[in-house]
Structure 1
Amino acid sequence: MDYQQIVKLEIGDELSIDNNKHGKVLANIESGKFSEAYRKEDWEYLQSGLLIYTDFGGVIHYSSEQLTTENFNTKNQK
């Protein structure tokens, strides 16, 4: 996933992680988009990346570096 794809992600967008795990975007720190349950005031200290609810570990913060170097794909990517 490149940086431009990260910034465009919206709250609720679904992702595949390592081709066999799944997650849903809760907050996009890069673009300043936060859900009501995950408010900016509580998470902006992280400075970059995404908060993702995963099917394997609950809520996880992924840094921008992790998102661009690991295997993440949006649900509608081929």
Structure 2
Amino acid sequence: IFGVFLTNPAPICVLDEVDAPLDDANVTRFCDLLDEMARQTDTRFLVITHHAVTMARMDRLFGVTMAEQGVSQLVSVDLRKAEALVA
């Protein structure tokens, strides 16, 4: 998949839980590859994941929570801004 994007990049790539079967070491390698792809192309990657290591490496997180039955709420966190607030 990444070879195709290097040859003919698309504006967006959606990856749905591609890191699910990976162990932490390979998730780190996967995230390194995503970083490199983002630098080499103008492709924006939308990664759907439950893996904490992957989430920690992203620029922005979106989540959906249900505070009360039947009412969903979207939560967005810009991790770069959050790091600046903590520092």
Structure of larger gyration radius:
2
TM-score, normalised to structure 2, is 0.27
Q: Which protein, 1 or 2, shows the higher relative CO under an 8 Å CA cutoff with sep ≥ 6? A: 1
More helix by share: 2
TM-score, normalised to structure 1, is 0.28
